[in-house]
Structure 1
Amino acid sequence: MPVSYDRSFQPQHRTVEVTGAQLSVFEQGNLHGPTVILVHGWPDTHHLWDGVVPGLVDSFRVVTYDTRGHGRSTSQGTVAEMRIEQLADDFLAVVDSVRADRPVHVLAHDWGSVQVWDAVCRPGAHRAVASFTSISGPSLHHMGRWMQSRLAARTPIALWQWFTQVISGMYTLFFMSGILSRTFFRVFGTRYLWSLFLRIVERVDRRDIHLAESFTDDMVSGLRIYRANIFRTVLFPSNRFTSVPTQLLIPTRDPAVRPASFSDIDQWAAEVDIRRVKSGHWLPFKNPELVASATTAFIDKHTAKD
């Protein structure tokens, strides 16, 4: 029988040792419920989920963490350590650390989703992960294969889809520019300006924006993930398949990831549910209640199969 969660209770904090870093992990909620791990992307920390967690804690044991180089987690400061393979290893180390008596469920956003895709596409991933809800973060290998397929099709629609995704992704070239992008975000990457951006562009209520005190440092540190992964995976993709049941929450107004880029996802996932949502990229800020309810429904669906 579910145990009511005391919302005045502060999350328990612990540290997980991984190769070259210490990850700050936070745990709260119903210790008797299924475990769900929430993984943030750039330039966020575990605070991305502050609005979502209240919708989960009554039913689930909720685990959030700061990925390496973000928030209270450490890093070595190298580009190589931000490769998706290492970040996926970090995620699996967190999975192992919770010592759940059954496979965990996962909710991830942006680069958090990208790294979880790498993990769930590994052999035997279904023994560790029971379900995966992904928001605005495709597998870079799937993205690369999709872009190749659009060029190969040579139809006006396919070429238009390829072109619009390339245009949407052009910002990553600036993010990979090294000292130029680091200097820009060191000067303009303040909590105030980012909050203003989310309020104007994403139409997020200011009360739903949760940013860490370390925000500017996180933004600059996290730029390494672009340099470490974009070219070598999107331009040289490999086939990656998962048997982990997957739910895609696809924001229809995402300026970075075009909804059409998920059109071939059935090739790479044994079971996938797709839900399109009228939102921009930061859906966890824009509509945390929807994120929590959709994740809960998907977890319940697959918990019932256990």
Structure 2
Amino acid sequence: MVRRVVSRDGTSLAVVESGPRTAPTLVCVHGYPDNRSLWDGVVQSLQDRFHVVTYDVRGAGESDKPHRDSAYLLDRLAEDLTAVLDAVSPDHPVHLLAHDWGSIQTWHAITGDDLRGRGASYTSISGPCLDHAARWMRSRVRAGLPALRELLAQLASSGYIGFFQIPKLPELAWRSGLTQRLVRALDRSASAPELPDAIHGLALYRANMLRRFARPEPRRTDIPVQVIAPSADRFVHPPVQTGIAEWVPDLRVHRVPGGHWLPRSRPETVAGYAAELVEQAASR
């Protein structure tokens, strides 16, 4: 059953809970251009052992879809996550599992002040902290030829980010089906998104990318973190996700076969790693 949770600015979010509420809580945050259905296979694998929470982020699924780009700033997204945690686990820290833009916003939340003390562990897939990514890119310029090759490869795979900054043209590409066909050609695990999710979610890029990359901050977290980096991710290469030990001292890295949409193509693998970290964190 879907319940409604209202964020600080009045945005209503669609939230679904599965599994026993007395078990450890695992909150799953999807990315772009997906909705909470991305996690269906993972939920099926974990709901017997954990209290698993999924929700549609603002702009997607059954949640509200603000029209202003500023409504999609990372600070607003962090407020959404905080509101969900307040609703589903007000008295106990939660474990977090996120993918793509869900990972980006969860990084922002756990390295900020709003969720300090609220996170018990974090599993990130194919979505770096934007501040970490910007600093990683700067470091590659100064680190020699092999590092520069890593940077150039990532920039080539991130060209769509510049395209998404253009007014109206990305919307037209989604409506025409061109973007869906291109994404599917690059990654067979991609599925056709709901068109409103794809259109409204463009604001994520327009509100945040240039802002964060122009002035990256040294964002740090001390909670246990694991990064699952698919080896064949055509959009987010493993190095930009994993070169973060400077800011994440309690870090585990898993490089696994698969493409960008690992939660959909290999849900049992994602569920296994997430459960392992939850149990490790609980044993502490």
Indicate the residue corresponding to 1:202 in structure 2.
187
Indicate the residue corresponding to 2:62 in structure 1.
72
Indicate the residue corresponding to 1:6 in structure 2.
none
Indicate the residue corresponding to 1:221 in structure 2.
200
Aligned residue for 2:245, secondary structure, equals helix
Q: Deviations over 1:164-223 (max 9, x none)?
A: 111111111111212000111122179xx56x954x54343x9xx6x77xx011101101
Indicate the residue corresponding to 1:161 in structure 2.
150
Report whether the alignment pairs 1:92 with 2:71: no
The one-letter code sitting in structure 2 at the alignment partner of 1:202 is: D
Report whether the alignment pairs 1:120 with 2:120: no
Report whether the alignment pairs 1:180 with 2:165: no
> Structure 2 CA distance, aligned partners of 1:79 and 1:99?
30
Distance 1:221 1:123, change over 3 A: closer
Match of 2:256 among 271, 277, 283: 277
Q: How does 1:1-306 map to 2 (within 5 A)?
A: 12-18=1-7, 19-123=9-113, 125-153=115-143, 155-188=144-177, 198=184, 201-204=186-189, 215-305=194-284
Provide runs of 4+ in structure 1 moved above 4 Å.
none
The one-letter code sitting in structure 2 at the alignment partner of 1:245 is: P
> Structure 1 CA distance, aligned partners of 2:60 and 2:242?
32
> Structure 2 CA distance, aligned partners of 1:103 and 1:89?
16
Distance 1:197 1:76, change over 3 A: closer
Aligned residue for 1:15, secondary structure, equals strand
Distance 1:256 1:197, change over 3 A: closer
> Structure 1 CA distance, aligned partners of 2:79 and 2:249?
23
Deviation at 1:235, TM superposition (A): 2.6
> Structure 2 CA distance, aligned partners of 1:28 and 1:263?
31
Q: Deviations over 1:263-288 (max 9, x none)?
A: 43100112011000111110011100
Contact 1:126 1:243 in 2 (8 A): no
Q: Deviations over 1:135-159 (max 9, x none)?
A: 0000000000001111123x11121
Stretches of structure 2 lacking an aligned partner (at least 5 in a row)? none
Deviation at 1:257, TM superposition (A): 1.1
Contact 2:67 2:200 in 1 (8 A): yes
Indicate the residue corresponding to 1:4 in structure 2.
none
> Structure 2 CA distance, aligned partners of 1:158 and 1:201?
24
> Structure 2 CA distance, aligned partners of 1:278 and 1:149?
27
Contact 2:25 2:89 in 1 (8 A): no
The two structures have a TM-score, normalised by structure 2, of: 0.94
The one-letter code sitting in structure 2 at the alignment partner of 1:289 is: E
Distance 1:263 1:293, change over 3 A: closer
The one-letter code sitting in structure 2 at the alignment partner of 1:218 is: D
Stretches of structure 1 lacking an aligned partner (at least 5 in a row)? 1-11
Aligned residue for 1:125, secondary structure, equals coil
Contact 2:232 2:257 in 1 (8 A): yes
Distance 1:235 1:166, change over 3 A: farther
The one-letter code sitting in structure 2 at the alignment partner of 1:217 is: P
Aligned residue for 1:150, secondary structure, equals helix
Aligned residue for 2:41, secondary structure, equals coil
Contact 1:126 1:244 in 2 (8 A): no
Aligned residue for 1:106, secondary structure, equals strand
> Structure 1 CA distance, aligned partners of 2:210 and 2:91?
39
Contact 1:203 1:286 in 2 (8 A): no
> Structure 2 CA distance, aligned partners of 1:126 and 1:87?
16
